[in-house]
Structure 1
C-alpha cells in the first residue's frame, strides 16, 4: 500500500461508491443495513471524511473483500468481492456412486470464489464446494465441474427434479431427486445423453436410510 493512499478520502470514496453500486442499494439503505448514521456514511461517500479502521473492517467484511480494496488506488478497477467456502476433497461421482472416506472439518480447505461467480449464493455459510466426475448428469453438469452444494436439513425441503448429492453407506453421487410418495420410494435419476446409466432407488422402509448431503445450486466448468 502506498503511503499516499493511507487516509486518502477521495480514493476511499471512489472505492466505496463502486461497491455500493454493485449492491443495488441507496446510500441511506446501506447505512441503515450496516447500523451506521446516514450523515456519517454520506460524508464517506462524498469524500468529506475518512472512517476509523473499525468501520473500514466492518465495510470490508460486508462487501467480502480485503480492507485494501477500499483504501488503495486500483489502476485496473476495484477488486471483485470474494468469499471462501469449504472444499470437500473427494470427487463426487456423476456416474455410479464412488466410495468416500470420512472427512473431518479440520481436513477441509477453503476455496475463494468471486461473488460474481457465485451469484445469489455468494457468502452463504451453508455452501460447500465439491468436484463432480462422470457423465450420468452431463446434460446439466459436465464432467469435472466444480459444484456448489447447499446443505439440506430435511428431505421435505427438496422438490422433484432438484439435483442433489446423496450419501448411502459412504458412497456419494449426484443425481436428480424424485420423491415417489405413492410407492414410498426415493428415486435418484441420471440426466445424461449417454446409455448405461440407471436410477438409484431407496424405499422409505430401507434400514439404511439415504442421507441427502445437499442440493446442487451452482456449478463452474473448466473449459479445455
Structure 2
C-alpha cells in the first residue's frame, strides 16, 4: 500500500535526507524558498506538502518522489560513513558539464564542455549521464541560474519529473513535465513570471518537442 499522504512518513524522510545532506532547517528553507513555519509543520507531521513541493525537495536531495513518500526500513536509510581510517575510496566517474544543448548534435558529440563533475560509480552504472549549467530564472527558487544539474539520458520521464527538454530546435530547457492524453505541459517553478506551456501531440511531433533526460541531482557552489 502506498504511503502517499502519510504525514509521519513524510516527516521522517525529510529529516533523514536533511541529516544525510548535512543541512539545517534554516538553510533548507533558504535554499528552496520555503517558509520556516511550513517546513516546521511538515517535520512535526502536522501538515503534508503539495506535490510540487515534494518534487522540489526530491530534486534538491537528488532522490525520487517515491523516496520521500514511501517508508524506509533500516537497510534503506542512508548509511553512516565508516571511520576515516576505514573509509573506502569510491573513485568517481567524470561527466562533462555542458554550457548548452542544441538540436541535431548528439550529446556525446557536443564539444562545448565548460567543466567536469564527478558522480558515484553506483549512479554511473544506471545509465548515461551529462551535466548542464542552467541559464535563466524559470526554475527559481529551486534551481538558480548558474547551478549545475546532473542528467540521466532518457527519452521519457514520469509525470511531474524535472527534465531537460528540447523545443523547436532551440537550446534545451529545464522544466517539469506534466503528461496528458492530448500532449504535455512544460511547467516552470517560477510560475509568476513563466507560465506553463502546453504542447499537443501533433506539436510534439512537428516542432519537435524532445525529452533528452531526467534531472536526478542539482549542485550549487556556494
Query: Please, what TM-score do these two structures have when normalized by structure 2?
Result: 0.51
Q: Note closer, same or farther for the CA distance 1:187–1:114 as it changes in structure 2 (3 Å cut).
A: closer
Alpha-carbon distance between aligned partners in 2 of 1:210 and 1:186, rounded to the nearest angstrom: 9
SS across alignment from 1:159: coil
Matched, 1:221 2:220: yes
Who wins on radius of gyration, i.e. which is larger? Answer: 1
Matched, 1:177 2:177: yes
Q: Note closer, same or farther for the CA distance 1:148–1:140 as it changes in structure 2 (3 Å cut).
A: same
Q: Note closer, same or farther for the CA distance 1:108–1:126 as it changes in structure 2 (3 Å cut).
A: farther
| Divergent runs of 4+, >3 A | 77-80, 100-104, 122-125
Shift, 1:122, TM fit? 4.0
Shift, 1:143, TM fit? 2.0
Alpha-carbon distance between aligned partners in 2 of 1:142 and 1:113, rounded to the nearest angstrom: 20
Q: Note closer, same or farther for the CA distance 1:212–1:101 as it changes in structure 2 (3 Å cut).
A: closer
Which among 101, 113, 119 is matched to residue 118 of structure 2?
113
Partner in structure 2 of residue 196 of structure 1: 193
Tell me if the contact between 1:86 and 1:108 (Cα under 8 Å) persists in the aligned partners: no
Shift, 1:222, TM fit? 1.1
Q: Note closer, same or farther for the CA distance 1:217–1:126 as it changes in structure 2 (3 Å cut).
A: same
Matched, 1:145 2:142: no
Shift, 1:108, TM fit? 5.7
Shift, 1:201, TM fit? 1.7
Deviations along 1:176-214, whole A, 9 cap, x unmatched? 000121xx021000112x732111221002222311011
- Give 5+ residue unaligned stretches, structure 1: 1-74, 93-99
Which of the two has greater strand per residue? Answer: 1
Partner in structure 1 of residue 185 of structure 2: 187
Q: Note closer, same or farther for the CA distance 1:103–1:201 as it changes in structure 2 (3 Å cut).
A: same
Shift, 1:80, TM fit? 4.9
Shift, 1:121, TM fit? 2.2
What's the RMSD between the two structures over aligned residues? 3.1
SS across alignment from 1:113: strand
Tell me if the contact between 2:168 and 2:208 (Cα under 8 Å) persists in the aligned partners: no
- Give 5+ residue unaligned stretches, structure 2: 1-84
SS across alignment from 1:107: coil
Deviates more, 1:170-179 or 1:200-209: 200-209
Shift, 1:134, TM fit? 1.9
